[in-house]
Amino acid sequence: MRLERRASVPLALAATAPFAAILAALALAAGLILAAGVNPLTAYVEMLKGALGSRLAITEMLTRAVPLMLTGLAAAVAFRARLWNIGGEGQFYLGALAVAWVGHEMLSGLPGPVGMAVLMVVGMAAGALLLAGPAFLRLRFGVDEVVTTLLLNFVVILFVGLMIEGPLRDPLAFGWPQSVPVDGDFRLPDLVPRTRLHVGLLIALAVAGVVWLILARTVFGTEARAAGFNARAAAFAGVSLPKTIMGVALLSGGLAGLAGAIEVMGVTGTVTTTMSPGFGYAGIVVAMLAALHPAGVVAAAIFVATVFVGADAMSRATGVPSFIADVIVALALLTMLVALLFTSYRIRR
């Protein structure tokens, strides 16, 4: 038995892969739900009800999907160019922190939409700068960016802790460590009244469209893909690798920073060290489930958000620990990896 590379990937097969991967992940996780003494079908039905069963549930799920779309795009952009940005979590936090800093009383007087636009640029810049460091270390000193981006996640979260207990501490929070709030004028308006769903959803969808255009229709997009596919051939064809890699880093870090910015402006209003339940890491799963395609990222983010929001409700109803959501998402990453193998290879006896 051996693997043989397919000459071309059939579209139908490529489109089926994520669904097969998700089904396999759910089937594997069913064993763990059984171990908790609960019928897996009951649990999954409760999960669907919890995430999609009511208007409120759907808006909560979409609220959760917004940052996942953006961190998913951040990972997809980077991974396409073989830039292993595992620092989405840190970039998310730094983007959020920068927005709380600038958005508190510094922009007063600006019209709401202008201030919001400024803050989003600030969040993107913070995330982009944070990834520019590891990208520079890789280009200049040959330091593997996997380890540096991972380690910086811990540094940034400590830095956030330092700032929200020090210079950016909210004096009105009675000792609870949280940052000063973003001014009310610059909070993103609700998309659906009396829910937490905000216009950040539309922004994330628009950003996905823009990223798709950049990747598919610009020279930079082509060069980025070439750098990931075969760096040596790309360099031979005249692609400047340092420039391309740095460009990819700024875009990827910027997207993760934007995720943090939008979460602060749309949902939390202030920054805490627990505001992200691993959005940066989950973004990697989202990107992989999407086969690194921007349109797929939107769908994959909705799936992952459904699992997380649904699992909380399911846990309350059945007593199965809500960590099952993390298990399902991690399994989906591994099964998707295997599914991708079958789309690009066939088994020959």
Partner 1 sequence: MTEALELLTSASLWAAVLRIATPLIFGVLGALLCERAGVLNLGIEGIMTMGAMVGWLAVFLGADLWTGLLIAAMAGALMGLLHATLTVPLGLSQHVSGLGITLFASALSYYLYRLIVEVGQTPPTIEPFRPLDLGPLTDIPFFGPVLFGQAAPTYLALLAVAILAYVLARTPLGLAIRMTGENPHAVEAQGLNPIRIRIFAVMAGSALMALGGAFLTTAAFNSFFPEMVQGRGWICIALVVFASWRPGKALLGALLFAFFDAYQLRLQTVVDGVPYQLFLMAPYLLSILALVLVARRAEVPEALMAPYRRGER
Binding part of the chain for partner 1, among 245-253, 255-263, 300-308, 331-339 by CB under 8 A, reads: 331-339
Interface map 217-256 toward partner 1 (x if CB under 8 A): ----------------------------------------
Binding part of the chain for partner 1, among 8-16, 40-48, 293-301, 332-340 by CB under 8 A, reads: 332-340
**Residues 166-185 interacting with partner 1 (rule: CB under 8 A):** 166
Q: How far is the CB of 111 from partner 1 (least distance, A)?
A: 36
Nearer to partner 1, 212 or 281 (CB): 281
Q: How far is the CB of 318 from partner 1 (least distance, A)?
A: 12
Cα distances from 200 to residues 70, 204, 224, 265, in angstroms, run: 10, 6, 27, 9
Q: 269: left (phi > 0), else alpha (psi -120 to 50), else beta?
A: left
Contact flag: residue 31 with partner 1 (CB under 8 A): no
Binding part of the chain for partner 1, among 12-20, 102-110, 139-147, 188-196 by CB under 8 A, reads: 139-147
Binding part of the chain for partner 1, among 64-72, 172-180, 239-247, 317-325 by CB under 8 A, reads: 317-325
Contact flag: residue 3 with partner 1 (CB under 8 A): yes
Q: How far is the CB of 170 from partner 1 (least distance, A)?
A: 17
- Distance from C-alpha of 327 to C-alpha of 337, rounded to nearest angstrom: 16
Contact flag: residue 150 with partner 1 (CB under 8 A): yes
Interface map 272-301 toward partner 1 (x if CB under 8 A): ---------x--xx--x-------------
Contact flag: residue 330 with partner 1 (CB under 8 A): yes
Contact flag: residue 331 with partner 1 (CB under 8 A): yes
- Distance from C-alpha of 242 to C-alpha of 246, rounded to nearest angstrom: 6
Binding part of the chain for partner 1, among 61-69, 204-212, 239-247, 333-341 by CB under 8 A, reads: 333-341
Contact flag: residue 106 with partner 1 (CB under 8 A): no
Q: How far is the CB of 147 from partner 1 (least distance, A)?
A: 5
Give CA 153 to chain center in angstroms. Answer: 14
Per residue, the 3-state secondary structure of the chain, as one string, reads CEEEECCCCCHHHHHHHHHHHHHHHHHHHHHHHHHCCCCHHHHHHHHHHHHHCCHHHHHHHHHHHHHHHHHHHHHHHHHHCCCCCCCHHHHHHHHHHHHHHHHCCCCCCCCHHHHHHHHHHHHHHHHHHHHHHHHHHHHHHCCCHHHHHHHHHHHHHHHHHHHHHCCCECHHHCCCCCECCCCHHHCCCECCCCCCCECHHHHHHHHHHHHHHHHHHCHHHHHHHHHHHCHHHHHHCCCCHHHHHHHHHHHHHHHHHHHHHHHHHHHHCCCCCCCCCCHHHHHHHHHHHCCCCHHHHHHHHHHHHHHHHHHHHHHHHHCCCCCHHHHHHHHHHHHHHHHHHHHHEEEEC
Residue 136 burial (10 A CB sphere; 0-12, 13-18, 19+): middle
Binding part of the chain for partner 1, among 234-242, 244-252, 259-267, 325-333 by CB under 8 A, reads: 325-333
- Distance from C-alpha of 238 to C-alpha of 226, rounded to nearest angstrom: 11
Q: How far is the CB of 222 from partner 1 (least distance, A)?
A: 22
Q: How far is the CB of 322 from partner 1 (least distance, A)?
A: 8
Contact flag: residue 323 with partner 1 (CB under 8 A): yes
Contact flag: residue 162 with partner 1 (CB under 8 A): yes
Nearer to partner 1, 199 or 231 (CB): 231
**Residues in the site for partner 1, rule: CB under 8 A?**
2-3, 32, 35-36, 84, 86, 137, 141-144, 146-148, 150-155, 158-159, 161-162, 165-166, 281, 284-285, 288, 321, 323-324, 326-327, 329-331, 333-334, 337-338, 340-341
